[in-house]
Amino acid sequence: MNANQLFHEIQNKKSFLCIGLDTDIEKIPAFLKNAHDPVFEFNKRIIDATHDLVIAYKPNLAFYEAMGLKGWEAFEKTVNYIKNKHPEILMIADAKRGDIGNTSKMYAKAFIENLPCDAVTVVPYMGSDSIKPFLGFENKWVIILALTSNAGAADFQFSQTEKGKLFEKVLETSKNWGTMDNMMYVVGATKAEELQSIRKIIPHHFLLVPGVGAQGGSLCEVAKNGFNKQCGLIVNSSRAIIYANSTEKFDVIAREKALEVQQEMERLLKSHSIS
């Protein structure tokens, strides 16, 4: 999937929502726990209930690895289920990997060659050779962590360097390693001035924005400062959607929550004349 195709999906679904499948075996509804593969069963029902409202799904690998072999199996089944049933949906492996060149190649193999993931999140700390092995695949994406939304982001990402704050230097240095069709950035920016400064450096790239839907209220601000002509935003929500309810109706309620976000996104796309 390239950037035009992604924009086409956004126009089609009037949505730039990504649902984070951070599926924790301890948080899924009790009635599912006796299923053969409770985590996959949970994901399947969430996907069946929401696929027409989203342009991306994003399982976070930590939740699957915490279950060992069974978790890895549930992850693979989830990826295959999404891409078999909904090839138009961007499948993001939120793996936050990164290693020296030869080793990063093995991570690219794991997620992009052996599995039908469309995108992998990667940490830039080790520099260009940790990122570039992910760039050699047509219609596949690397999503580089620039600015994250957690408290710890302040420790290093805001360090003043010779090229602005570290996250700005990451953007500036890496923006030409790939193209607008194979590179995005994780930007946990909810403050207007940060997003504006980011858009000055990378006006055209897609940004993956975590946690906005969940925390509510700032979606409007993110759209205002982050939109470009092709939308340019993928906004993720995890817990606020997938754990909104813990009864047998959890998937129905998850759909309702996703629909609320999608409708807000539709309004924002329209009011910014992106539709």
Query: Which residues form the interface with a second copy (CB under 8 A)?
Result: 22, 24, 60, 62-63, 65-69, 71-73, 76, 96-101, 103-104, 106-107, 109-110, 114-115, 123-131, 145, 148-157, 159-163, 166, 169-170, 173-174
CB of 64 to a second copy, least distance (A): 9
CB of 3 to a second copy, least distance (A): 25
The tokens for 47 are 């996907």
- Distance of closest approach, residue 10 Cβ to a second copy, in angstroms: 26
Residue 177 CB burial class (10 angstroms; 0-12, 13-18, ≥19): middle
Whether 83 is a known active-site residue: answer no
Task: Say if residues 94 and 37 touch (Cβ distance below 8 Å).
Answer: no
Nearer to a second copy, 161 or 263 (CB): 161
Across the chain, where does the E strand assignment appear? 17-21, 56-59, 90-97, 119-122, 141-147, 160-161, 164-165, 183-187, 207-209, 233-237
Terminal-to-terminal C-alpha distance of the chain? 19
Q: Which is nearer to a second copy, 98 or 226 (CB)?
A: 98
Q: Which of 14, 70, 96, 132 is catalytic?
A: 96
Nearer to a second copy, 75 or 206 (CB): 75
How far apart are CB 2 and a second copy at their closest, in Å?
Answer: 25
* Residue with smaller CB distance to a second copy, 106 or 252: 106
Distance CA 234, CA 103 (A): 28
Residue the block writes with tokens 């924002």 = 268
Q: What are the catalytic residues? A: 96
